[in-house]
Structure 1
Amino acid sequence: MLGPLGQQMGRETKRLTARTVATLTTPGRHADGGNLYLSISANGGRRWIFLYRWGGKQLEMGLGSARDVSLARARELADSARAQLAEGVSPLSLRRAEQVVPTFGEAADALVDDIAPGFRNAKHIEQWRMTLKEYAASLRDKSVADIATDDVLAVLKPLWATKQETASRLRGRIERVLDAAKAKGLRTGENPARWRGHLDALLPKRQKLQRGHHAAMPYADVPAFVKRLRALKGATALALEFLILTAARTGEVRGATWAEIDLEAKVWTVPASRMKAGKVHRVPLTAVMLDALERAKNLQPDPGRDKFIFPGGRRGQPLSVMALDMQLRRLEVDVTVHGFRSSFRDWAGEETSFPREVAEAALAHAVGDATERAYRRADALEKRRQMMEAWMRFVEGGGGANVVSLRAAAEG
């Protein structure tokens, strides 16, 4: 029974034991008595909460994660909250008056810093940072305690129609930030970013994810697009041009360093640690690629300042993981960066007679079964050099009449 100030009256207290707390897995609220509960979520999250009534409403105050706060400490915090109730003070109101509630942006940045050590791939943590800064920009200056369903929908709806997978990941990350804020006692109530039983009723049903599909530019349009890029003369546009010329992946170009370039041999060697397949990949450098590298060097006031060929705004850091995507968006081109690899592959298959395995090797794709690959341990560098020279002439010449000569070069 609850007294007039919400204190638990006539109920057994200290029902839980340290062993029980450590072994309980059943989702729900498990009472210790005296308004203190161990709350276990459906996904296994465990935290202490203090429940009480105030002004006719039941309120919930977080007392911290069960991983960090022991049962004894949780009881001390509950004792303090009950004492405040006895004095006619709402524990939540007192806490809010005493602490500065961070903005959503501050809470998001703190969470990413906390979970960063758990990511094996630096790209993933960079994606967390980018999405919570770029896509959730309208939330960042709001108090994390005040984020409501309408705020979350305002962020998700513009993305939901065109980039549903991105929007879904963003929703999950917003939910994680708000859950962390609640665990720290910075929020109360249900999470406005939760999906089941909430946003699933307010947003269109998610389409099935079509893996492996990346919107690509028709290869005939690539020469004109490269000319547009060159007119911009910025580092991001230059990186995108280099990516198109080399048919490399975004991460390979973003992380490219001057030490990987052998100007004498005209080869760019990407180490295994930066390759998707975990194998060293050599890229033959054509005259136009070398010219792009020279332009990249000229863009750096102090060429020895940064190891990266395409450095980002922060010293010692490469371009942002979304920089190339944002460049395409600014140019209002409805394709993906990864799609340029498909443009190259379509060109090689339809406009030249270079063998399939040479084109696949240029893309650092494995060809055939394990036995077949064992007989192809060489990376066909010189054959690929001929193909990249042909690709260079196509991009520079704008297609058209180039096709016949390319076929002849390939067959010769």
Structure 2
Amino acid sequence: MKEPLRDVRSYRLPEEVVVPLLNGLPEVAVQTIAAITMEVPAYAEAFAGELGHKIERAVQAALGTFFKLVSRPGGDPGTPLQAALDGAYALGRGEARSGRSLDALLAAYRVGARVSWRELAAISVGTGQPAAIIADFAELVFAYIDELSAASVAGHADELAASGRIRLRHLQELAQMLVAGEPPHVVQAAAEQAEWTPPQTLTAIILPERAARWVIDLLDPRTLHLVDAVPELPGMTVLLVPDPQGTSRPLLFRLLTGHSATIGPARPWMEAKSSVDRVIRVHELCRPGGGGVVDTEDHLASVVVTADPSALADLRARALAPLAGERGASGAKLVETLRSWLLHHGRREDVAADLFVHPQTVRYRMARLRELYGERLKDPEWVLALTIALAVPES
């Protein structure tokens, strides 16, 4: 088993070892930065110009802190290590904000450790230090840089987590503004704050929250997730998916297979509220279950007919008034037959097949309906009213 690196806080180096190393720090820093710039492409441009000089000074300061730590008197309780660790932590956060990856940061540490040790070892050898001291010194250098590296990794991770939470909150605010129909300039500002690139269109999908968590990873990364968008439908959530029209819309249906989902129409992204309103309305009408996927485009007539429920109820009451005297099952069968007769344009055989009855039964029922309605069944206005009134079965 590999032994852990020695704790740099507990070790001391003689002054005659440390002084030449301190004197050589400026050149060590120059060589270290040059190597990182050459071997880690992500830093080639970042270290150019004035920034490169600042980084050189930072390297000198970090190594200087190390030498102060290992050369202080044994009775000195002071420890400058925390300041160096805080600096490394801040470096990690800054690298995350700059968009550089953790891989680039760790590569820079590896190169920096190798080159700085090579240069420092050359100084020690040049001053005639014994091999045992140089070996101890190597272990201390790598232990120190390992601690700095760990602090930077923590800073990098914390910054990504913090910025991720902040961006997630901004994306939530953007989605809520879109659904609320906020003015375009307000929504545009929210999109910029969230660093969200607007698509041409957005399509609303309503589905169970557990399904949304699985599906969203397979969709465009710009997909917006509306949490608790429909309070009256607990457990359901709404996704706003960028540009799924055309060939990608069938793919969306395939991804949702096995989930109880409703897919709305594509709308210009600023008009996403229209798609959300439609998908919620159709979901309430159809209540898909058992893993069915519903396309709102297949239910436009129902949406139109039920747009004003009270008006539909009044129309239905007026249109069915002639049947008011019919009782129970008899009245229900007449309503059922009248609806089928309207939908099949009076074709008796088709009505019989639709209702699973004999054509003679259809003939009998229609005779009764003609008694009740009279010439109104020939009046286009009445036929239209009856068609609308009976277009959606009464719930």
TM-score, normalized by length of structure 2? 0.31
- Which one has the largest radius of gyration? 2
TM-score, normalized by length of structure 1? 0.30
Higher helix share: 2
